[in-house]
Chain A
Amino acid sequence: MTNISNNLFSSYVKNEELYDEIYDSNGDIKDVYKKLFSLYGEHSLTNFVKLNSKAKASFFNQGITFQVYNKKATQEEIFPFDLFPRIINPEEWDIIEKGSIQRSKALNLFLWDVYHEKNIIKDGIVPIDLITSSANYLHQMENLDPPGGIYNHVSGIDIIKHKDGKFYVLEDNIRCPSGVSYVICNRTALKRALFGVFNHYQTYSVTNYAENFLELLETAKPNGVDIPNSVVITPGIYNSAYYEHSYLAKTMGIELVEGRDLFVENDFVYMKTIKGPLKVDIIYRRVDDLYIDPLEFNPESVLGVPGLFAAYKKGNVTLANAPGTGVADDKAVYTYMPEIIKYYLKEEPILNNVKTYHCSRPKDLEYVLEHTHELVIKPVDESGGYGISIGNKLSKKELKKVKKEVKENPRKYVAQPIMSLSVHPTYIEETNSFEQRHIDLRTFTVLGKEKEFVLKGGLTRVALRKGNLIVNSSQGGGSKDTWVLKK
């Protein structure tokens, strides 16, 4: 059972097979968590249940919700939020922060190279077909210099702690990584519900994201612009991340626009205001590559702005993130990250990579087909946790199907050993008790011209279903407030 003796945690069961974040290597509760347990222990279960529903109501009333479509009508639901925070000590955070910056910078240099000289390919570090066969490679970006030399202004890096206690990167998200507003909402909700606990910990604030982001974004302004006019572009109020778009625009104090609010004239971008057109210099876009400009990409798109890409090509507007970044967060490129970091930065990678098998390589494919039952099979170009098969969870029939699919489209898949994500005590409503659940961490790194910023916190995502390893919100995941402690 457990060695925590208080009301709330008395039934917490520790599974020895898993790496539990609250215990140290001797099996004792870590010092940083001891205080937290005694503070939480002061609440009775009924009291805690009350706090939990109050926190949920606060999210609901603030309209921090997403739409769920069922048979009858659309319903609004909140993103599940857990009241027990995750604590990251200063030493651990140091590794995470440095590692996140290192990866983001390496990815930026990689993107520049891939869309210009392609030295990394000429030098034989990364095979050419990895790039040319990627669905996210945009030939339109070739030899185009993005303002400030930045491609991935924002990077969301998904990091886990494995059984061995080391940090591994699972994924780099450098297209339109989302979730940062939840970091801030989670903190607000926890402060409202359990304000007392903050007195006992020196935790970094997370509310400074927007101002840092805007400052860094504006360092990559187009040439010749003095004070840039920045906007956030959203697909609209029905997008599942709309709350985040509006939150970021509001806290940065800039306009939130839709495609129909903008137009392009003589390769400059303007927005339609109540006082006529106003030039736009920087666009933080939350619209996918293929939808940003119907003239250049998907002609069916109504979310984009006709002529936007031509204006970008002329260097008259900054797009953040740059189009075509998807080529570098491809899961097949991921496997080369250690080499990519060494190649551009002449440094050893700070965060580990998970061993990955490329199904496009005959030898790897052979291994994958033989060991499918003990691997995770991932499509290279999907996000949101879709299309992932976890070998040891599949039936014989399903295994057969996956193998067939991999054999037919080897370029589409990579495989990795099943990583055991660390677990953290999470309040489960069905059982009214705390249980172990798998977690990961998404960090948010912002690159500016010769400057960078990592949000000291990040989004801890929890797989709420027992035993589940997929933490994405689209797959029934929740989140936790994440405390980075000051030294």
Chain B
Amino acid sequence: MTELSKTQTTLNQPEPTKPPRSQWLDVWDQFKTHKGAMMGGILFILIVAGVYLGPFIWDIDATQIDIRSRNQGPSWAHPFGTDQLGRDLLARMMAGGATSVSVGITAMLLALFLGSFIGVLAGFFKRLDGPLMRLTDLFLALPLLPLLLVMMLLFREPLNAAFGLEQGIFILIVSAIGITSWMPTARIVRGDVLALKEREFVLAARSIGTTNSKLITRHILPNVLSPIMVSATLGIATAIITESALSFLGLGFPPDFPTWGRLLFDGVDYLQQYPERVIWPGLAISLTVLSVNYLGDGLRDALDPRIRGR
């Protein structure tokens, strides 16, 4: 693809007047002009900063119980109000966000990596297609809950011993979500690769002796980027929500770790009395997903040389 775009640039400019620019600078230039992407990016940075740096400014402990001031609405002492045990909701949102954002992004990246890897391999190499796709079928068919129970049984104690309670469970949950959600990405990527590898430019690249690995990284992968980006944005939302489902089934973080998903779940019963309890976590999840979505849109456009040229 890059060859292609370079040729185009050369064609448009008969005499190079400026020194050649790096490809990534071009990408950044294109990215900057994408308003949605910039807004998404800023919002995402704000959210990440809020949940990780926020606790240094707003230093109430998320698990601190103040039973006298329970079920309060927003006030200066508690801008987001308090929950049924008098815990400060702002602090809980920050602590929950730190967990949810890191679980969401890590699990999404893991699922994305697994899915793209298996999808590309299966689509590109005919001999691997059968076994890998049957493996995908197997994973699609496995019932999630018993699988998680088995994983908890096998790996919880060793991971806790090796990484400590919090880290151990984090790894367990991220891998649980990751290895149970890569299959759609794999199927989608494979479908696209099957079509792509019959295209002329792949044939052309192959005929000039491009190795398979080069072919995949330089020609195939950039062209399946858009479904991967969509999977990524949907994947974050799925991971955050799956985590909440895990905690309410008793398979997630210990009960004193708030997460956005769990805050939302706990708040649903109080929907009528204290609607803000569901609004804050709901809004936070939606905003994160939206920001990642716009970020992904912008990134995809910026990486597409056909659009970049315009």
Partners in one complex: no
